[in-house]
Amino acid sequence: MSAKVAKKKAPAKKGAAKAAKKAAPAKKKTSVKGQMYASLVAQLRSLLKGEYDFIANAANFSALVYNSLPDVNWAGFYILQDDVLVLGPFQGQPACVRIPMGKGVCGFAAQQCETVIVPNVHEFPGHIACDSASNSEIVIPLFDGARVLGVFDVDSPTLKRFDDQDAEGLNELVTVLVAHEEGLDE
Ligand code: SME
Instruction: For 146-186, write each residue's pLDDT tens digit.
Output: 999 999 999 999 999 999 999 999 999 999 999 999 888 76
- Atom 1, ligand 1: residue with shortest CA distance: 128
Residue 7 placed within a domain = no
- 3-class secondary-structure state, position 81: strand
**CA torsion angle 162 157 174 53 (round to 10):** 170
Q: How far apart are CA 58 and CA 81, in angstroms?
A: 16
- From ligand 1's centre to the CA of 132, what distance in Å? 11
Instruction: For 45-71, write each residue's pLDDT tens digit.
Output: 999 999 999 999 999 999 999 999 999
- Atom 2, ligand 1: residue with shortest CA distance: 128
For ligand 1, is residue 130 a contact (CB within 6 Å)?
yes
Residue 5 placed within a domain = no
- Tell me the residue type at 8: K
Q: What is the CATH number of the domain that holds 70?
A: 3.30.450.40
Residue 8 placed within a domain = no
- Atom 5, ligand 1: residue with shortest CA distance: 130
**How many separate domains does the chain show?**
1
Q: Which domain holds residue 77?
A: 16-181
Its pTM stands at 0.87
Quote the pLDDT of residue 2.
46
Residue 106 placed within a domain = yes
Residue 2 placed within a domain = no
Residue 147 placed within a domain = yes
Residue 6 placed within a domain = no
Residue 10 placed within a domain = no
- From ligand 1's centre to the CA of 40, what distance in Å? 23
Instruction: For 71-126, write each residue's pLDDT tens digit.
Output: 999 999 999 999 999 999 999 999 999 999 999 999 999 999 999 999 999 999 99
Give the DSSP H or E segment for 142. Answer: strand 136-144
